[in-house]
């Protein structure tokens, strides 16, 4: 999808398909986490216990982020794979749909920070609704679209974003600690 050989209209369609597929994938995984919690009868656990468990999960995930910062690595939770970005076999639209859905499902690719796992745990614990996946998806896609629309992507764009990894992990750790405190109060 690089270069002038790709029309602006095609790029916009591919981006829209990626965005929609990401949101569908995110919604599906949060719904699955919520269903898993229902299947395990988590709702039968007293709310006060689920809150304490949620706070402990947040605190543990903050430690995961701090460890990742110290070791200069990505979040160690989840599969250590990147979605293949080659789209020539199935064409740009299907590739964008598969890539978006796969990335949106959270559990199939690496994450920079652990906060995503905290949000997913809230759905599993019944402390957040399944449709929080839509919010998660929009929270990822809207800034991404804004960045792609307002800046011309170049070969250094990804490297600049990856250089912010420790900042994002620090923000994640702070948000998780604050979330842990807030959920307890």
Domain chopping of the chain, boundaries: 8-184
- State the pLDDT at residue 3: 47
Return d(Cα 91, Cα 4) in angstroms, integer.
Answer: 17
Instruction: Return the pLDDT at 92.
Output: 85
Return d(Cα 144, Cα 18) in angstroms, integer: 11
Residue closest to 65 by CA, chosen among 135, 149, 169:
169
Judged against a pLDDT cut of 80, whether residue 82 lies above it is answered with no
pTM for the model: 0.84
Beta-carbon contacts of 10 under 8 Å, excluding residues fewer than 6 positions away, are 1, 92
Pick the more confident residue, 56 or 145. Answer: 56
Distance in angstroms (rounded) separating the CA atoms of residues 174 and 65: 9
Residues 137, 12, 159, 165, Cα dihedral to 10°: -10
Q: Report residue 79 as tokens.
A: 């599969």
- The answer to whether the beta carbons of residues 33 and 113 sit under 8 Å apart is no
Tens-place pLDDT, residues 123-159: 999 999 999 999 999 998 998 888 877 777 666 776 7
- Residue 127 phi/psi, 5-degree rounding, is -95, -5
Q: Quick check: 164 pLDDT over 50?
A: yes
Tokens 């959920």, located at residue: 183
Are 53 and 124 a contacting pair, CB within 8 Å? no
Q: How far apart are CA 38 and CA 178, in angstroms?
A: 27
Say what the pLDDT of residue 181 is: 95
Distance CA 69, CA 114 (A): 11
């Amino acid at each position: 999808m690089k270069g002038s050989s790709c029309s602006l209209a095609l790029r916009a369609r591919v981006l829209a398909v990626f965005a929609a597929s990401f949101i569908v994938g995110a919604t599906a995984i949060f719904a699955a986490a919520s269903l898993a919690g229902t299947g395990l009868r988590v709702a039968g656990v007293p709310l006060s216990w689920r809150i304490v468990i949620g706070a402990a999960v947040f605190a543990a995930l903050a430690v995961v982020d701090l460890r990742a910062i110290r070791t200069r690595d990505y979040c160690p939770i989840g599969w250590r794979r990147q979605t293949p970005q080659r789209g020539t076999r199935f064409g740009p639209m299907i590739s964008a749909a598969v890539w978006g859905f796969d990335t949106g499902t959270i559990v199939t690719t690496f994450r920079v920070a652990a906060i995503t796992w905290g949000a997913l745990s809230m759905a599993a614990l019944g402390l957040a609704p399944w449709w929080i996946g839509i919010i998660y998806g929009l929270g990822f896609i809207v800034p991404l679209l804004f960045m792609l629309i307002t800046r011309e992507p170049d070969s250094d764009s990804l490297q600049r974003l990856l250089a912010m990894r420790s900042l994002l992990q620090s923000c994640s750790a702070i948000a998780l600690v604050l979330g842990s405190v807030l959920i307890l109060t």
